[in-house]
Structures are given as structure tokens and as C-alpha cells.
Amino acid sequence: MSPLLSLSRWIDRFSEFIGRWVAWLVLAAVLISAANAVVRKAFNTSSNAFLEIQWYLFAGVFLLAAGYTLLRQEHVKIDVIVGRFSKRVQIWVDIVGLAFFLLPFVVVVFSMVMPLVLSAYHSGEVSPNAGGLIRWPVYALLPLGLLLLGIQAISELIKRVAFLKGMIPDPTLKAGAKSAEEELAEFLLQKEVAAREQALVKGGDK
């Protein structure tokens, strides 16, 4: 299990690296959008390429950050029912979901979309809009994003099995998130500090 945990840590670091760099695509999209607006207003000219590159960047943020989002436990979860079960049951639900739903989904969609990407690359498909961009780079974002998501899913699967074996802490806690026990301890500490301060104030008044 130790080699698998080492692999999981490497994958987590890789997803973290990708997520931090993908964040810059948001800034790039904002700057291009602002520049396009200024040029259009000031010189009454524009190009569809400026619009399409913004779509490409948005697709890059959404797809390439899928694995990073899974690492950060930020994908939407419906815990109305599962949240009532014990932590071990919740982990088993995650394992089943990762192994029998998410990973097969990644494999199936990846295999379906790759022919489209290769076809667009070989044909040199271009946007039908005047001045539009070539299409295969944005098509390629989908299989690449799925690959990153699948790799991170493997890491999450490893961590959950390791948790059941008692080898690591709860991997479902969000990064920086406090457990219920930590939140209670912090609340009690704040309450005690407030009580002491109040007592000092009262003592000073006397």
C-alpha cells in the first residue's frame, strides 16, 4: 500500500500544480475580453478570434481543472442521505462511485471523443465564423481534462482504501477545513477567553 500512497501523493502534487497554473487562464480571458471591448469601442473593429479564444480559455479552465477540483473536494455532492451514515459507509460509497461510475465514465467518454479530436486535427477544421480559430485545440481539451480527472480519481480511490486500513486521516475533509471536534474546541476556547476578558473588565470596574 505504501507505493500506492506515494503514487497518490505524486498525483495530488501534479493536480495542485495544474490547478494553480490553470487559474491564470481566467486572468488571460479577462484581459483579452477587456482589450477586445476597448478596440471595438475605440477603433470600431474586432475579430471573431478574440471571442473564440475566450471560449477556448473558459473551456480550458473548466476541463483542465476538473482533477484539481476533485482533489479539493469541491465537486457538487448530494449528502442528504449518505451524510446520515457513518464515515466508513460514506467512504465505501465514494469507493463504489469512483471505481464503478467515475473511472468507467472517463474511459468511455475519452474513447468516444478521441476520434473527433484526431479527425479535426487531420482535416484542419476551422471555425465557420469569419476570422475564427482552428478547432482541434479546443476539442483536445476534453480528453485531456478527462485524463487529468481520471488520474486524480485513482489517487482519491487509493486514499479512501488507505483510510479504511487506518493508514491516513480522513481524505474527504476539504483542504484547510476543520473537523467537528476542532470547531467545538475552537468555540469552547473562544468562549473561555471571552469569559476571562469579561471577568477582568468587571474586576477593573470594582
Q: What angle separates helix 136-164 from helix 48-64, to the nearest 10 degrees?
A: 10
pLDDT (0 to 100) of residue 176: 52
Phi, psi of 126 (to 5 degrees): -125, 150
Evaluate if residue 193 carries a pLDDT over 60: yes
Cα distance between residue 111 and residue 108, in whole Å: 5
Q: What is the reported pLDDT for 160?
A: 92
Calculate the alpha carbon distances from 163 to 1, 102, 147 in Å. 11, 20, 25
Q: Among 68-77, 114-123, 148-157, 187-196, where is mean pLDDT lowest?
A: 187-196
Distance in angstroms (rounded) separating the CA atoms of residues 131 and 37: 17
Q: What's the pLDDT score for residue 52?
A: 87
pLDDT higher than 70, residue 112: yes
What single-letter amino acid sits at 9?
A: R
pLDDT, one tens digit per residue, over 137-159 is 999 999 999 999 999 999 999 99
Secondary structure string (H, E, C) spanning the chain: CHHHHHHHHHHHHHHHHHHHHHHHHHHHHHHHHHHHHHHHHHHCCCCHHHHHHHHHHHHHHHHHCHHHHHHCCCCCCCCCCHHHCCHHHHHHHHHHHHHHHHHHHHHHHHHHHHHHHHHHHHHCCECCCCCCCECHHHHHHHHHHHHHHHHHHHHHHHHHHHHHCCCCCCCCCCCCCCCHHHHHHHHHHHHHHHHHHHHHHHHHHC
Question: Which backbone phi and psi does 73 adopt, to 5 degrees?
Answer: 60, 40
Query: pTM of the entire structure?
Result: 0.77
- Grid cell digits, residue 57: 480559455
- pLDDT surpasses 80 at 135: yes
